Amino acid sequence: MKLQRTWAVARKEFLHVLRDPRSLAMAVAMPALLLILFGYALSLDVDNVPLAVWDQSGTERSRELISHFAGSRCFSVRTYVTSYKDLMGAIDQGEVMMGMVVPRDFAEQVEAGRDAPVQLLVDGSDSNTATIAIGYADVIAELYALDLNTELSQRRGGARPTIPLDVRPRVWFNEELASKNYIIPGMIAVIMMVIAAQLTSLTVSREWERGTMEQLISTPVKSAELIVGKLAPYFVIGICDVVLAVVMGDFVFHVPLRGSLGLLFGTSMIFLVGALSMGILISIGTKNQLLSGQVAMLATFLPAFVLSGCIFTIANMPAVIQWVTYLVPARYFVSLLKGIYLKGIGLEILAGQIGLLVAYAAGILFLAHVTFRKKLE
């Protein structure tokens, strides 16, 4: 492989990108737009769950309980109702997600030291949010019950009740439990995979459609030189996209970067080679720009978004699907990004996953080279 011929192909592709504002806009503006869209629109945080209250008791004790819910960041009391019909109507219409019914004898039961049941009605249409909201409600109710026990015991002259188990959780790596810190690194991998494959999926097929491939075949340019030359400009654009994503993650979304910046860019380069080679391979096989773009989107976005672990936890998937995720390169890159961003871990821990990315990039690049050489024969 001669550097002069490779540079000639790369220069030709650079000029094509610069003269095609649509491709250039797609390469630069699209990653930023997707990152903003997913970063702000996609959130796993459950805050301010809308709550409707039917306070049948109407006493100071019932108002204390309601204030514990209203005073937390987890719930927002949207309306007070006076019947089950109104409560169910608010849930059915989507005005609230949860309804709380305080019974008439709530205060009497509390003052007597007996169990005072409170009913919670939850809209389970969104099962994940409903489960989290129920967990929040259980914690608030338990804290209120503990305060009541302490108050009643002291009023009766007894000793302060002891707590047999005092759990004090400490959150590592994402102390605020902010979903953006979990989502943004994963979305960087998904966006890079999609954009890189989309860009290079049009390169070879465009040559076939325009009739210029025969001219390239007649030149001394070898298949390896042609592939590397076509990859070079998009590799540079991909690195620019990585820089843009890192800057936006820091200054726009304030995601902490605790690991090595050099390791981040090094692993990104390896992943880019594999993603770009995937697009080249698709372009070689289809010879049609429209079909190439469709196949590239199907082969990159869905696996990278669903099976990489960027949003959906792989451990919760069926066993068969978990095995399939090992074939998705974005899985390893997402794990690398989250480890570098949030945990600050280094090469001594990430070496195995980096090795898998290197094997993937080398394998796809070699497969593209072999396939294209067969097309030239």
Shared domain for 21 and 139, answered yes or no, is no
Q: What is the pLDDT of residues 180-196, one digit of tens each?
A: 888 889 888 888 888 88
Residue 363 exposure: Cα atoms within 13 Å on the Cβ side: 8
Q: Where residue 75 sits, what CATH number does that domain have? A: 3.40.1710.10
Place of tokens 């910046």: 261
280 and 336, same domain (yes or no)? yes
Residues 150 and 126 in one domain: yes
Q: How many CB atoms lie within 10 A of CB 11?
A: 13
Q: In terms of domains, do 220 and 307 share one? A: yes
Q: How many domains, in total, are found in the chain?
A: 2
Assigned domain for 169 exists: no
228 and 360 co-located in one domain: yes
- The beta strand positions in the chain, using DSSP E, are 49-55, 75-80, 98-102, 119-122
Is there a contact between 9 and 220 (Cβ–Cβ < 8 Å)?
Answer: no
74 close to 133: Cβ distance less than 8 angstroms: yes
Cβ atoms of residues 122 and 97 within 8 Å: yes
Q: Give whole-number Cα distances, 340 to 153, 255, 257, 272, 326, in Å.
A: 51, 12, 7, 17, 20
State whether 134 and 220 are in the same domain. Answer: no
- Asked whether residue 113 falls in the same domain as residue 127, the answer is yes
Tell me which of 124, 155, 186 is where a domain ends.
155
Q: Are 35 and 245 in contact (CB under 8 A)?
A: yes
pLDDT on residue 374: 44
Same-domain check for residues 53 and 39:
no
- Predicted local distance difference test score (pLDDT) of residue 373: 61
Any idea what the Cα angle at residue 204 is, between residues 199 and 207, rounded to 5°? 115
Q: Please tell me the distance from the alpha carbon of residue 322 to that of residue 134, in angstroms, as a whole number.
A: 29
Judge if 230 and 117 occupy the same domain.
no
DSSP states of 64-126 as a string?
Answer: HHHHHHHTSSSEEEEEE-SSHHHHHHHHHTTS-SEEEEE-TTHHHHHHTT-----EEEE--SS
Domain residue limits at 21 = 3-43+178-376
pLDDT digits (tens, 9 = 90+) for 258-283: 999 999 999 999 999 999 999 888 88
Q: What is the pTM of this model?
A: 0.80
Q: Which of 232, 245, 184, 233 is nearest to 32 (CA)?
A: 245
The full DSSP string for 277-315 is HHHHHHHHHH--HHHHHHHHHHHHHHHHHHSSSSSS-GG
- Distance CA(334)–CA(341), nearest Å, equals 10
List, for residues 219-230, the tens digit of each pLDDT value. 777 878 888 888
Residue 56 carries which DSSP code? S
- Helix, strand or coil, per DSSP, at residue 52: strand
Same domain? For 225 and 351 the reply is: yes
Query: 271 and 128, same structural domain?
Result: no
Q: Which stretches in the chain have pLDDT values below 70?
A: 1, 156-166, 211, 214, 217, 373-377
